[in-house]
Amino acid sequence: MRLAAALLIATLLSPALARAQASAQMINLSCLEALTAIGQGRLTGVFSFVAEKDSVAAFSDMIARDKKALKKFVEKVEADKKQAGAISEWDGGVLKFTLSLFDSPLATTLDNPGKGTLARMAELSQTPMISLSELSSRRAAKR
């Protein structure tokens, strides 16, 4: 009887599991790096369900609601700029999208990062942007 119940449950769940597996995808490596930098590596599984085209907006929304995470992300981007003379295209997109959030009516619902952080973000968003592979090559060359 237990075996029959287990088989019935497995049969009913298999289409739902197949759909869930089909919607999961490879996470953008820049997103993975950013999640790790802000101490939220455990969210990589969640972000694997976010379409790559939406990952910048999703990550921006998350850090705009958490002042500490935003500060860590800005520090990571500053370190990239210092070390490689450029930042990743994905990180640049995050900076620009996050700045647009703080310049919208939605800003009243977000953690205020302070004028200093916003100024640093605005300055960093003007930094030359390169691919993550080029950024990684420059990092390795500096070591």
Strand, helix or coil for residue 72: helix
2, part of any domain: no
Q: Which residue has the tokens 């800005």?
A: 74
Q: What is residue 23's predicted lDDT score, i.e. its pLDDT?
A: 60
Q: Which residue has the tokens 């990684």?
A: 136
Amino acid occupying residue 26:
M
What are 44-79's pLDDT values in tens digits?
A: 999 999 999 999 999 999 999 999 999 999 999 999
Structure tokens at 28: 């953008």
The better pLDDT of the pair 22, 70 is held by 70
10, part of any domain: no
> Does residue 18 register a pLDDT over 50?
no
What is the pLDDT of the chain when averaged over all its residues? 87
Sign of CA dihedral 91, 97, 98, 99: positive
Sign of CA dihedral 20, 26, 27, 33: positive
14, part of any domain: no
134, part of any domain: yes
18, part of any domain: no
63, part of any domain: yes
Structure tokens at 17: 């599991």
Strand, helix or coil for residue 87: strand
Domain membership of residue 87 as a residue range: 25-142
Using 50, 70 and 90 to split pLDDT, how confident is the model at 120?
very high
> Does residue 130 register a pLDDT over 90?
yes
70, part of any domain: yes
Sign of CA dihedral 118, 120, 123, 124: negative
Paired with 87 in beta bridges are 129
Q: How many domains in the chain?
A: 1
17, part of any domain: no
